[in-house]
Amino acid sequence: MSSPTPSSGGPRSDVGRWGGNPWRPPTTPSPEPEPEPDRRSRRGGRSFWARCCGCCSCRNAEDDDWGPERRGDRGGRGSGSRSRRPDSRGSDSRGSDSRRSDSRRPGSRGSAVNAAGDGTIRDGMLVVTGMDLLSSRSDQNRREHHTDEFEYDELILRRGQPFHMVLFLSRPYESSDHVTLELCIGNNPEVGKGTHVIIPVGKGGSGGWKAQVTKSSGQNLNLRVHTSPNAIIGKFQFTVRTRCKAGEFQLPFDPRNEIYILFNPWCPEDIVYVDHEDWRQEYVLNESGRIYYGTEAQIGERTWNYGQFDHGVLDACLYILDRRGMPYGGRRDPVSVSRVISAMVNSLDDNGVLIGNWSGDYSRGTNPSAWVGSVEILLSYLRTGNSVPFGQCWVFAGVTTTVLRCLGLATRTVTNFNSAHDTDTSLTMDIYFDENMKPLEHLNHDSVWNFHVWNDCWMKRPDLPSGFDGWQVVDATPQETSSGIFCCGPCSVQSIKNGLVYMKYDTPFIFAEVNSDKVYWQRQDDGSFKIVYVEEKAIGSLIITKAIGSNMREDVTHTYKHPEGSEAERKAVETAAAHGSKPNVYATRDSTEDVAMQVEAQDAVMGQDLTVCVVLTNRGSSPRTVKLHLYLSVTFYTGVTGSVFKESKKEVVLAPGASERVTMPVAYKEYRAQLVDQGAMLLNVSGHVKENGQVLAKQHTFRLRTPDLSLTLLGAAVVGQECEVQIVFKNPLPVTLTNVVFRLEGSGLQRPKILNVGDIGGNETVTLRQTFVPVRPGPRQLIASLDSPQLSQVHGVIQVDVAPAGGGGAFSDIRGSGRSRETIPMASRGGA
């Protein structure tokens, strides 16, 4: 991989593996996306689904559920995920699309029908005059299904669990009356596909669907309806049919009676079932979390607003499935759903949610470090249909967590430090040097990311042999293609741990990310290459996620790999390597090592001087002379480095058992013009032991810390009442920050808000005050970030404990209309 040279004089470039997919703004912005090409006419006629998912390659050509969306039909009839905008509340905005239903759809005509189809209501017919789905957030259904936090008025259910409803009739219900409930989803609902569900009341249905009368009182009929644990997830139209001696009646479809059905981790019969309530509270219901970044020795953390229950987010999640034309039959399977989400969260191939950008130039979008949550991103995609600029791995992972939690999958965001990107399927990270141990960049195509963020989601894997249920890796960051598509997973963590790289999906790539070895090759005089050093603990050195029920870190490395150096770990690595492109890579390995080397870097803050240090230790019984070279460069977190801006050469003599420290000071003025995203630097150390020919090689990455924003709540927070927060920031640099933008967001507190504050002088302190109106009670997280061309990765968070409204109402009807933008006048800024 070529190494760009970062500079302050112009845009930086990190073309790397995304060089062939540069983002360009549309020539004429349009609120609607251009129609997508029919994927079935490309790549030898194989559809997106045939290439992405092996189980989807045997469909019938007549199946209209397959294939991309049609222009003007985004969201489709039945799913309804595009029929309601994020800022709409009434039924008017939903009804137009829904009433254009196919004539075969029950109840789509908009008027009552009888057996003759003429709409005549005869005496004695059992007419349904209305229904109550008990869909309010405070009603029994929403509480029992753990969906009461969704900022929606419709009924939201988790499959495999009963719900209650009431039918209002024209006369008392009699035992001879027949009542049938019907649910439909998709353009052409069919019973055989599960897109048309028929539930005769009192007789039991098929596939786990059934309905029973719990109470008949006057003209009210109370029902208990059981949904199938294998139901399709999505937005269903709902109607009722009745039949008696006087004739048949069908209730017209009403958009207010649409029903969302989600996966159910509380249901033992659902393959996404999680048998730990604290896990479900954390991985399904928690609306915020921590995402970790930086390096293993200098771990940074930021709070992310997942916001899966915010108004409009559920529609956005279903729109993602609709946008790619996912077959409704496949939407009952979490394996298929998670795989398409990994493809659709990035924009490559399918105009998905986020455009990746690792160039350092974000002038035509948002710096990935500036996002504070997923809500603004998803609502923008739902509102416009256009991919949102820009994202990097933690943004892709944060959005994926939101989508999967929203749909009902237990999901967590995971960070892997020293994450490898294996480009040649060797399952090793290969670094090539010349005879003098100078890197041969034109051969070094593999890279090691300082950190990489992906997702674990919990499910059974009926498509795999037993023993591979549980956590599955899903990675939406577009790195390499899988079956021709930029997607990754789901991949069983157990298969990764044991090196079973032949298990689907994408196990070889993920195994290499966490458990491969870094292999140093030196060119010999005859032009051949020889392994001179193997770092067995360099890759996947630490894998962490947010702990359950707290903001502490949880080390999950042991779930991905056996203890480093153990027999089981070595067996897993070498078993996996045997299936790679270099099965005999370990055969030429040398083992003469009596001088040890360790690299240290002090904890430095952006704008300050720093010192790096190399410690050499002679573990042998004879003196050793070491010639040492140190090269310092800046690096993107993806492992792409800039040119060397400082180097040092020293010769050190070590007595037996002695240690020696070699230091290299670095002044702020030396690195200031070189800095790139994340403020990371790479120290390359190479050495040669004169007496025995031992080669020393080490790559050490460290980062410069950025300051935090300080948030203070000014007064008590109560649902429906205005509250104020104060944000304080001090510029750590002696230079002016230009075009500074703050972002503020918090589920149940504040819809995404952008604050433009202009310039902030060198070492200046600014103070902002902002008001917000909480809409949901309980503990909430208010998150802020700061971004400017000179400084990014600045954020802060405060917990806000919101009290219920004084009138006893748990929720407020106040809803934002998506993102808001505001320019902060100079008068509201604090002094230096």
Instruction: Supply 41's token pair.
Output: 């006419």
SS3 400: helix
Q: 393 catalytic, yes or no?
A: yes
Q: 56 catalytic, yes or no?
A: no
Amino acid (1-letter code) at residue 681: M
Lateral strand order in the sheet of 717-718: 717-718, 794-803, 778-787, 737-746, 750-760, 820-823
Q: What is the DSSP string of 605-674?
A: BTTS-EEEEEEEEE-SSS-EEEEEEEEEEEE-TTS-EEEEEEEEEEEEEE-TT-EEEEEEEE-HHHHGGG
Residue 562 CA: distances (Å) to CA of 274, 516, 541: 24, 12, 12
- Cα separation, 15 vs 20, whole angstroms: 8
Q: What is the DSSP string of 130-144?
A: EEE---STTSHHHHH
Q: What is the DSSP string of 177-192?
A: -EEEEEEE-SSS--GG
Amino acid (1-letter code) at residue 29: P
| Cis peptide bond N-terminal to 462, omega within 30 | no
Amino acid (1-letter code) at residue 18: W
Question: Burial level of 528, CB count in 10 A (0-12/13-18/19+)?
Answer: exposed
Q: Which residues contact 297 (CB under 8 A, 6 or more apart)?
A: 601, 702
Q: What is the DSSP string of 320-361?
A: HHHHTT--GGGGG-HHHHHHHHHHHSB-TTT--SEEE--SS-
Question: Burial level of 8, CB count in 10 A (0-12/13-18/19+)?
Answer: exposed
- Nearest in space to 470 (alpha carbons), one of 510, 412, 403, 545: 412
> How many Å separate Cα 617 from the centre of its chain?
43
- Cα separation, 411 vs 282, whole angstroms: 9
Q: Among residues 226, 452, 562, 688, which one is catalytic?
A: 452
Q: Among residues 56, 393, 457, 491, which one is catalytic?
A: 393
SS3 394: helix
| Cis peptide bond N-terminal to 505, omega within 30 | yes
Q: Among residues 65, 422, 475, 517, which one is catalytic?
A: 475
CB atoms under 10 Å from CB of 720, counted, come to: 17
- Cα separation, 258 vs 238, whole angstroms: 6
Contact 418, 297 (CB under 8 A): no
User: What's the sign of the alpha-carbon dihedral 323, 324, 325, 327?
Assistant: negative
User: What's the sign of the alpha-carbon dihedral 613, 614, 618, 622?
Assistant: negative
Q: What is the DSSP string of 62-87?
A: T-TTSSPPPTT-TTTTTT-TTSS-TT
User: Phi and psi of 742, rounded to 5°?
Assistant: -100, 145
Q: 452 catalytic, yes or no?
A: yes
Query: Which residues have a catalytic role annotated?
Result: 393, 452, 475
